[in-house]
Structure 1
Amino acid sequence: MEQEGIDPQWVWLLAGACLACAELFLPRRFLGWVGLAALAVGGVILAIFVPVSVQFLLFAFFLALSLGTAIWLRRRNSVLPAPVAAPPPRVRRTVGRRALVVEAIVDGAGRVELDDRIWAARGPYMVQGAEARILAVEGDTMVVGPAGRSRRR
């Protein structure tokens, strides 16, 4: 009596192809690796006959191998945070200096004068004519705080 039905290698190959295709529609970076393991088992049993119990052991082996490869690739290709660039020398020389508030800092915004240039400023409330200490430079804006004493012009 002849056995009817689909050969096991085609089941593994079909399952692997379906899982790999499912990865295209459900990109979770997992189903493709399971599909790859199933395709590997299908390839092995196409070449040599293997009992069903060994097929499942092969699947477990190939699954562990493919997931290990996935984890290794993910760690190898992980994006590390970019190193924070040191501020340019001009900014380093500016931080800590004193500037004159030429437009009162109200609601966190105003203007200060430093080296005969007017700069946008952010900081706490400060009256016009007050002296401010530069705490940081963000683009073209000086972040300032009170310097301690007032200076009139």
Structure 2
Amino acid sequence: MILETLSSLGGWAWVVVGVVLLALELVVPGGVLVWLGVAGIVTGLASLFQPIGLPFQFLLFGGLSLVLIAGWLRYQKGRTVPTDRPYLNRRADQLMGQVATLDEAIVNGSGRLGLGDTIWRIAGPDLPAGHRVRIIGAEGATLRVEPVDAG
């Protein structure tokens, strides 16, 4: 029954489906429905200007959908969006290269270091309290440190 209705409406059914998919993209954003809608409209226009059988219409719609979505995903993957806050949600990366003074000694390769309003776990060679260290890396929430030479 649905296929009979689609074939009786011809290409207009595809155009309507395409417009509905484009409208749904406004409600459910994500980028995929746009390309399904475009594929539907192109399929409808193709079947309006050139008589195409219903199986080929579905094949054209499916193929166009896959090509358009794959192309969009490939374009998005290679695109980087510049930001004015590159270290947002990467607090440990903000601290790389900073020099600080140990509040507590590093014992058995681990200790704690206060930076700003946060106390960080640190890992590095055993050092006494008051020694200066440089942050050289991070492993999760633990900062890797090395001693800073006094000279």
TM range (shorter): 0.5 to 0.7
The code of the aligned residue for 2:9 comes to: D
Runs of 4+ in 1 over 6 A off after TM superposition: 83-88
Q: Structure 1 residues 135 and 42, CA, compared in 2 at 3 Å: closer, same or farther? A: same
Equivalences for residues 100-139 of structure 1 within 5 A: 132-136=130-134
Q: CA RMSD in A?
A: 4.5
Larger Rg computed on CA atoms: 1
- What does the per-residue CA deviation read over 1:14-37, in whole Å, with 9 as the maximum and x for residues that have no partner? 000000110011112211111111
Q: Structure 1 residues 133 and 40, CA, compared in 2 at 3 Å: closer, same or farther? A: same
How far 1:86 sits from its partner (Å)? 9.6
Structure 2 residue corresponding to 1:75, chosen from 74, 77, 80: 77
Q: TM-score of the superposition, structure 2-length normalised? A: 0.54
Give the percent of matched residue pairs that are identical in Structure 1 and Structure 2: 18
Structure 2 residue corresponding to 1:43, chosen from 42, 45, 64: 45
Q: Structure 1 residues 55 and 135, CA, compared in 2 at 3 Å: closer, same or farther? A: same
- Structure 1: gaps (5+ residues): 100-107, 110-119, 125-129, 138-144, 148-153
How far 1:132 sits from its partner (Å)? 0.4
- What does the per-residue CA deviation read over 1:109-152, in whole Å, with 9 as the maximum and x for residues that have no partner? 6xxxxxxxxxx9x689xxxxx96012247xxxxxxx9x9xxxxx
The code of the aligned residue for 1:27 comes to: P
- What does the per-residue CA deviation read over 1:48-77, in whole Å, with 9 as the maximum and x for residues that have no partner? 110111111111111111111121122122
Match in the other structure for 2:30? 28
